[in-house]
Structure 1
C-alpha cells in the first residue's frame, strides 16, 4: 500500500454533512485561499460488523469473545461495532473526507488460539479504504501492524450501508484465505455531534465578502444553510454506473457450492460417490463450487428487486450397491428472488427418481439491500444462504433447517455489451465437471460408524474451510469435532440407504 501521511479518521461519518461543511468553506473564503483550505470535521461515528459469519464463528464454534473498549461499542445480539469521536478533514475541491476514530476491539478465543486487537480505525473516501492498527498476541509475543487495510468501500452519497469487500490483509488477520475479496458487512458513517452554528451577519443568499488578508481562514457553518451537496466519487463506481434502472437480464452466472462438507462426504470413503455438473454448469477443480450459467430474468434497481433463473444441473451419487445408489440427488433450474437484499433460492429436486419442482432450498440475505449496475452488470458476492425446512427434506435430513450453506455469488448482465466477471475457479472437465472416487478427495479417515475425515475437514495445508461450510479458519477447528460432524452425516445417509434397500 502506498505510504501516505497518517491523518486522524472517524469511524462514523455522514457525507452530506461533510459536504455541507465544505460548501460553507467555499462560500466564506476568497478564491485565492479556497484551494488550500481543508474543513475540519468532528463528532463522527463509524459502524461496521466486519462480517456476520465471522462474528458467529468467534462466539460459536471458537467459544470466543468480542470486547469493545475506549468508547467503541457492539450492538446487541452479537451485532456490528461502532467506533466514535471521529475527527478529520474534508477537501472541498476533491469532495473527499479523511476520518479517524476512537475505540478498540479485542477478539479472543483461547480454544482456537487467537488474540487480536483493532484500534485507530480510519476511513478515507479518496482511496475508499478502511484501515486499522492490528495487534496480535501469540506465545511468541505481541506484534502491531499500523494502518492495515481491512476493506475497500463502495462509497455512496449518503454514506449509509455502503458495501465493503475484505482485503487479503483482512483474510490474514481473520485467519482464513477464503475471506479475501469476500463481501464484508455494510459500513455506515454518521455525524452524531453537530458544531454549534454561528448566526450569519448577512442573509444566506448574499455571498460573504472576500478575505484576502487571511492565509488559512477557519470556515464556520451557518444555521440557515439549506443545501447539502455530497462528495464527488472520483474513485468509486459512479462514473461507470448505468442510467438504466430496470429491465431484462440478458446473461448471468450463479456460483454456489451447495455445502462444502456435503461435497466432501459424497466423494469420500463412506459414500464413495461422484459429483457431475451438466447442462452448461461446471464445477471448479479440487471438488470446488459450481457455476450455473445463461441467466435470464428481470431487475429493478429503484425497487432493489431481482429475479433470475440459471441453466445447468448438478448430480450427487453415492452408496452404490450392485449398480443401485442409496444417494442420487440432482439439482437443476436454479432460481433466485431478491427484494431489498433478502430472498430465496429455489431449484428442481430429483431424489432417487422422485422429482419436485421449485423447491425453496435456502433463504438468501445479501450484505446490502441496494442493487447497483456497474459496467452493465449487477454483482452480489457472498450472499448468505440458510437451509429451509423444504431444503432439509430435499437433502433427506442430512442437514437440519437453519444450517448455513455455502454462500451464493450472483453476476447478471443487463446490457448486451456487458462483460461478466470471469469464474473464479477452473472447471474440472470443461463443460461438464465430474469429481469422485473412493476417498480420492483428500481422504484420511475410516469407514463405518466412524465416518470419514477429509483433508478439507481436518485442515491440512490447503487453507480450505472447515467441514461445517461456515467461514471458519481451518487451523482453528479441532480434528475431533470434525470427525463427529462427518460421522454423524455418514450414519444418516448409511441408514437411509439400508431403509431404501
Structure 2
C-alpha cells in the first residue's frame, strides 16, 4: 500500500534576483486561482552523477529510457518530454507532468526499478515520480527538493529520504542531486531573418550588452535615384529610393503592458520623443521614419523616432523595473525581417538589439498612392530579445503584431496611427503616460506564460531593483498510516 505523508509548509532558501523586469511579480494573494494550461515542456535531470556511474560501473547495470524519454550520450542526464499541466496566475506556480519512463537494473547487484510519470511542482518545490519495484508501483514518490528559480534552469536539487530508499543508499538522504532544468520547447523555431545577421550567443546578464544583439543588415536597395514623384495610377512608377516618412504601430506585448500598470508592478508607461500610446493602455506609435526601400526586390529598412519607458516595483524611489526602448528599426526582405531597438535597462544601454523576428502576411511591398503598407506583421521574440527582457519571456514567444506604413513620396498621405490622439491618463502629445492602478496582474495564456512568474506562492520583498523570492518548501515527516 502506498505510504501517505503529511507535509508542513516551511520557507526555504530559493533566491532569485531580477535586475530588470522584477521577479518581484511573485506576490502571494488571496484571490481565487486562475489556471492557465501549459504544454510542450521538457524536464532534464540526471538524478545524481555518482549514482549513474555506480549503476553502469560497479553494478554493471544499465539505464533504459522509453516512451519518449532519452539519455544524453556518455551516461549523461535524462530528459522527459511533452510536459503538460497548468500555471496558477494567482499564486504564480506551475504544476507539470512529463511523458517518458526510465528502467534501471543490475543483475549483478540484484535490483530492477522503473521511474515514470515524472512531475515538477514549483509550489511544493519538488520532483516526484511513480516508482515500480518488484512488480508494485508507488505513485508520486518525492525524489528531490528543488530550489526554484525564475528561469527554471540549473535549479539545485536535494535528494529525499524516499530517494535514498529508491536508489539503495542511505547516504543519499539530504545529498545534492544533479541540477534540474525545466524549459518549454516551442513547436517550431522562427527562421532567421534574411536581413538580420546572426551574432554569437549572448552571455547571460541582467541587462543586455552590445554583444547580445545583431543589427539587421541594411537592404541593398539603391538610393541614388531622384526623389520619387507621385503617379496618377494607384501604383508608383519609382520602385526604389529613400523613405520620406512613416509610422510603426507596435504594442511590445499586451500582457506586459497590463503587468506594468497592474496591481503587482503598480508602475507606469511613458512615451516621448514623438512616440504616442493609444488610449486604454493601448499600443504605441513611432513616427518620423527614414531609410530606404526597393519594391522590385521587396525590401525596406526603416528607422523610427520615439521612445517608450516602462517603470515598476518602486521602493523608496528606486525601481526594480526601468526599461526603455528607443530608436526602433524594422527591416523586411521578401516578407521576413527583424525589429531592433536601443535598450536601456536600469541605466545600462545596449544599441541595436534584435528584439523580434518579423514575418509579413505577404512578401510583396508594392507602393500604393506613395505609401508602402505592411499590417499585422508577426513579431516573434529572439534570444537577444529574451535577454533584453531579462528572461521575462522565452525566445519564440509571440509579441504584439507590428503595423508598418512608410511614405515614398513627399505628398503621400499616411494612414492615421492609433496613437495619434490620446485621452486623459494616456499619452497625449509627445510625452504622455499610462500610470499604475489598473486591476489585474500578469495577463498571459498558454505557452506565453512569463518565465519570471513561475516561482512559488510565498511573499516577495523588493529592494533597490532586485526581487528576493522565498520558495515554499515542504518538509517531510515520513509517516505510515
Name the TM-score, length of structure 2 as normaliser.
Answer: 0.45
Q: If each structure's strand is expressed as a fraction of its own residues, which one has the higher value? A: 2
Name the TM-score, length of structure 1 as normaliser.
Answer: 0.43
Q: If each structure's helix is expressed as a fraction of its own residues, which one has the higher value? A: 1
Higher relative contact order (CA 8 A, sep 6+): 2
